[in-house]
């Protein structure tokens, strides 16, 4: 609580100095200013430390935002690859489907050939049975012609049967390849959904980091004001002669109200408050945090900053 008590003491001393100067008690004002010098310098130095650490936190948040952005860009590139792969597989599936349909149609055509050859063979076999009862030469010649037709259609039927079997195998292989292609498409879609979820999560994280970065920047602005204020206080204590207008200026800075955004673990609130109230709440918040280093490192666990 040292910084809290020292800060409170400095603010009270500033007000007392102004009262002493206004009443013409220059001696008392000079004594009080001398006592203020050491304490003011301590507070100024601590404000500078906070400022430096918050700037480090700002740089860290920038690096985090950049790192998340790189991750998102890499995922977008991966997404494009999966989209390209899916389109290629869909084109392949379309081609395979056409091939399968072609094989099925070819099998139908081969079946027609087979049935036609079987029909002609049966007709020839019927004539063959009739000619077997005749033995004289003219009929025998026709008998041989019929036998030739039977053999020819046997060959046609066997060829058509083989063609049917081949087209059936080709159609089945095309169907298996279609299933493998469908599996690849489903995998590509699953990868695309996974990437979309990852990108969505990273986008949320990046938005959070952006907001935190804005909070840290705002807090840096306030701390820079604080550094300037305490520097002026210290310079005032070193002045050869106490001037009422200089003391009045310091007091006006102390009392000047700003719209302030106060961020704590319980949420955010905005209020009109003076520089003194801002500073005191800041140091009290930091001192009340048992993990002060985390506050200074992250710059967002607790923050008190000027609304921009």
DSSP of 13-47, one letter per residue?
HHHHHHHHHHTT-HHHHHHHHHHHHHHHHHHHHHH
Structure confidence by residue, pLDDT tens digits, 51-92 = 888 888 889 989 999 999 999 999 999 999 999 999 999 999
Which has more confidence, 34 or 296? Answer: 34
Q: Which residue has the higher pLDDT, 278 or 107?
A: 107
Per-residue model confidence (pLDDT) at position 28: 83
Cα(304)–Cα(226) distance, rounded to whole angstroms?
A: 12
**Range 28-56 burial, b when 16+ CB lie within 10 A, else e:** ebbebbeebbebbbbbbebbbebbebbbe
Distance (Å, whole) CA 300 – CA 140 = 111
Asked whether the predicted pLDDT for residue 294 surpasses 50, the reply is no
Mean pLDDT value across residues 251-260: 70
At 247 the pLDDT is 74
Residue-wise pLDDT for 226-255, tens only, equals: 888 888 888 877 765 666 677 777 777 777
Closest by alpha carbon to 15, among 287, 263, 233?
A: 233
Query: What is the mean predicted confidence (pLDDT) over 1-21?
Result: 83
How much is the pLDDT for 143? 61
CA-based max dimension of the chain: 161
| Pairing mode, strands 257-264 and 267-274 | antiparallel
pLDDT digits (tens, 9 = 90+) for 108-166: 999 999 899 888 888 877 777 766 666 554 565 666 677 788 788 888 889 999 999 99
Percent of the chain predicted with pLDDT > 90: 33
Mean pLDDT to the nearest integer, 267-294: 65
Nearest residue to 264 (alpha-carbon basis) of 207, 204, 226, 305: 305
Model pLDDT, residue 180: 96
Tens of pLDDT, residues 169-224: 999 999 999 999 999 999 999 999 999 999 999 999 999 888 888 877 888 888 88
pLDDT in tens, 15-60: 888 888 788 887 887 788 888 888 888 888 888 888 888 888 889 9
Round to whole Å and give the CA distance between 294 and 281.
Answer: 18
- What is the mean predicted confidence (pLDDT) over 96-110? 95
Q: What's the whole-number average pLDDT of the chain? A: 81
Residue tagged 């169907």 (tokens): 175
Q: For residue 87, what pLDDT is reported?
A: 97
Three-class SS of 210-255: HHHHHHHHHHHHHHHHHHHHHHHHHHHHCCCCCCHHHHHHHHHHHH
Q: Considering only residues 8 and 266, tell me which one the structure prediction assigns the higher pLDDT.
A: 8
Q: What is the pLDDT of residue 65?
A: 94
> Is the per-residue pLDDT at 8 higher than 50?
yes
């Amino acid at each position: 609580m040292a910084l809290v008590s020292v800060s409170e003491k400095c603010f009270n001393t500033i007000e007392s100095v102004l009262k002493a100067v206004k009443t013409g008690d220059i001696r008392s004002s000079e004594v009080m200013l001398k006592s203020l010098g050491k304490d003011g310098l301590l507070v100024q130095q601590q404000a500078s430390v906070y400022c430096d650490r918050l700037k480090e936190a700002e740089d860290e948040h920038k690096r985090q935002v950049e790192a998340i952005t790189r991750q998102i860009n890499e995922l977008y590139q991966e997404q494009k690859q999966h989209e390209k792969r899916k389109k290629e597989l869909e084109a392949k599936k379309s081609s395979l489907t056409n091939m399968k349909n072609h094989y099925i149609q070819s099998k139908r055509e081969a079946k027609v050939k087979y049935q036609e050859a079987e029909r002609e063979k049966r007709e020839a076999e019927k004539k063959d049975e009739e000619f077997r009862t005749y033995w004289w030469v003219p009929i025998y010649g026709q008998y041989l012609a019929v036998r030739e037709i039977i053999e020819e259609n046997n060959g046609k039927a066997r060829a058509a049967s083989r063609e049917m079997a081949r087209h059936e195998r080709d159609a089945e292989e095309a169907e298996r390849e279609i299933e493998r292609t469908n599996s690849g498409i489903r995998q590509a879609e699953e990868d695309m959904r996974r990437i979309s979820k990852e990108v969505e999560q990273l986008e949320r994280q990046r938005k959070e980091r952006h907001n935190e970065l804005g909070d840290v920047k705002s807090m840096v602005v306030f701390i820079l004001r604080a550094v300037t204020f305490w520097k002026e206080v210290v310079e005032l204590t070193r002045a050869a002669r106490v001037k009422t207008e200089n003391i009045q200026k310091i007091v006006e800075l102390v009392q000047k109200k700003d719209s302030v955004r106060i961020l704590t673990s319980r949420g955010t609130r905005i209020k009109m408050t003076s520089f003194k109230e801002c500073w005191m709440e800041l140091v009290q918040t930091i001192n009340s945090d048992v993990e002060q280093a985390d506050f200074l490192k992250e710059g967002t666990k607790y923050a008190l900053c000027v609304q921009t």
